[in-house]
Amino acid sequence: MGSLDAKPAETQEPDINDQAQLWNIIYGFGGSLVLRCAVEIGIADIIKNNNGSITLAQLASKLSIPNVNSDHLYRILRFLVHMNILEHEICNGGVDKVYSLKPIGTLLLRDAERSMAPIILGLTHKDFMVPWHFMKEGLASEGTTAFEIGMGMPIWKFLEGHPDQSQLFNEEMAGETRLLTKTLFEDCRDIFQGLDSLVDVGGGNGTTIMAIYETFPHIKCTLYDLPHVIANSRDHPNVQKVSGDMFKCVPTAQAILLKLILHDWTDEECVHILKKCKEAIPKETGKVIIVDVVLDEESTHELTKTRLLLDIDMMVSTGGRERTLDDWDNLLKRAGFRSHNIRPIRAIQSLIEAFP
């Protein structure tokens, strides 16, 4: 608590720690782009495949880049050590440093099941960073996103016309799913156990629904998304694929899954989607399973900042938002759901069951 004679903030001199804090926020993009470079050149995979540790000279020789500038590579490694992603040990009588992965560094592996590499490559792609430069213009226009202003069209139209970026986006979302599914099935087994059929609405390339089928093979599973997404989605002999527009209709099933869908849309659009989902499930035994962010603005949890940044991302990219407990309560009431429960899971998102 401030004392009564404390100076107002504007008359207090910011100290060097304040400067450092701001420098680190300003240069946040630098950290992201070093990570991107590390993933692009496959540093983590090379270290892992070299029995878990490597010298600078060995790493330089294994990169698929001709004439590697060793000084530049050294400085990238030094930064990654400072960021606690790599660690090093001095060997050969102090001549060489041997680099290895800290636990967090394994999340940069491109060939691992639980990897953040697809998220790094998606979020830092030039085309997906352009809209962030139009945040100010987005502030001045009701109903038009920064993405639309910067890229000339809404994100879903852009992805339809740009297959490479669409694939990158779908791989990013699939990477996110692979990070989540183990936790989801451990923390929420009961939620899927009793189902006989499930439609994953806006299910992307099918990674989530296929993981659900593999864990709960008694469920009749359907993947539903826009036609161009379904056309490029994975095949599975026991997962039916249906293309369409969730604003127009949703295939019927006992349960509908909406994973990272509602945070893409405004409240009015969400009410519309939720009503379509409600029409597609039985009144007595049906449910909508929502896997999405629940924001607690007061929480000091490490993921609160990530959730607030995702909220800004949704404002910039899709016109959607992240929602608090009260926001979810209001939304589900407006869409006519009689009750719901919210279960935190060990992830950015929570799991919400909504009953018609």
Q: Which of 56, 119, 290, 315 binds ligand LAOBWLLU (CB under 6 A)?
A: 119
Distance CA(252)–CA(324), nearest Å, equals 29
Distance CA(67)–CA(57), nearest Å, equals 12
- Shortest CB 169 distance to ligand SAM, Å: 8
Distance CA(230)–CA(245), nearest Å, equals 11
Neighbours of 280 (CB within 10 A): 22
Burial class (CB in 10 A: 0-12, 13-18, 19+), 342: middle
For ligand LAOBWLLU, what does the binding mask look like between residues 159 and 198, x meaning CB under 6 A?
Answer: -----------------x----------------------
User: Per CB under 6 A, which of residues 172..201 are in contact with ligand SAM?
Assistant: 173, 176-177
- β-bridge partners, 65: none
Which one of 72, 125, 263, 340 is the catalytic residue? 263
Contact indicator for 255, 198 with CB cutoff of 8 Å: yes
**CA within 13 Å, CB half, 81:** 14
Q: Which of 70, 75, 247, 279 binds ligand SAM (CB under 6 A)?
A: 247
Which of residues 114 and 220 has its CB atom nearest to ligand LAOBWLLU in the complex? 114
256 binds ligand SAM (CB under 6 A): no
Sign, CA dihedral 7-9-13-14, equals positive
Which of residues 80 and 229 has its CB atom nearest to ligand SAM in the complex? 229
- Shortest CB 313 distance to ligand LAOBWLLU, Å: 5
Contact indicator for 100, 50 with CB cutoff of 8 Å: no
Contact indicator for 256, 198 with CB cutoff of 8 Å: yes
Which of residues 76 and 130 has its CB atom nearest to ligand LAOBWLLU in the complex? 130
145 binds ligand LAOBWLLU (CB under 6 A): no
**Does the annotation count 340 as an active-site position?**
no
Q: Which of 43, 184, 246, 315 binds ligand SAM (CB under 6 A)?
A: 246
Q: Which two tokens mark 126?
A: 């030039």
Pairing, β 287-295 against β 255-259: parallel
- Cα-based distances in Å from 229 to 62, 153, 304: 36, 18, 31
Amino acid at the residue 59: L
208 binds ligand LAOBWLLU (CB under 6 A): no
Distance CA(8)–CA(164), nearest Å, equals 52
- Shortest CB 139 distance to ligand SAM, Å: 23
225 binds ligand LAOBWLLU (CB under 6 A): no
Q: Which of 60, 123, 130, 303 binds ligand LAOBWLLU (CB under 6 A)?
A: 123
Q: Which residue is nearest to ligand SAM (CB)?
A: 202
Q: What share of the chain is helix, strand, coil (3-state, %, to 5)?
A: 50, 15, 30
- Shortest CB 98 distance to ligand SAM, Å: 38
- Residues labelled catalytic: 263
User: In the complex, which residues of this chain contact ligand SAM (CB under 6 A)?
Assistant: 156, 173, 176-177, 202-204, 208, 225-226, 229, 245-247, 259-261, 264
User: In the complex, which residues of this chain contact ligand LAOBWLLU (CB under 6 A)?
Assistant: 119, 123, 176, 260, 263-264, 310, 313, 317-318, 348
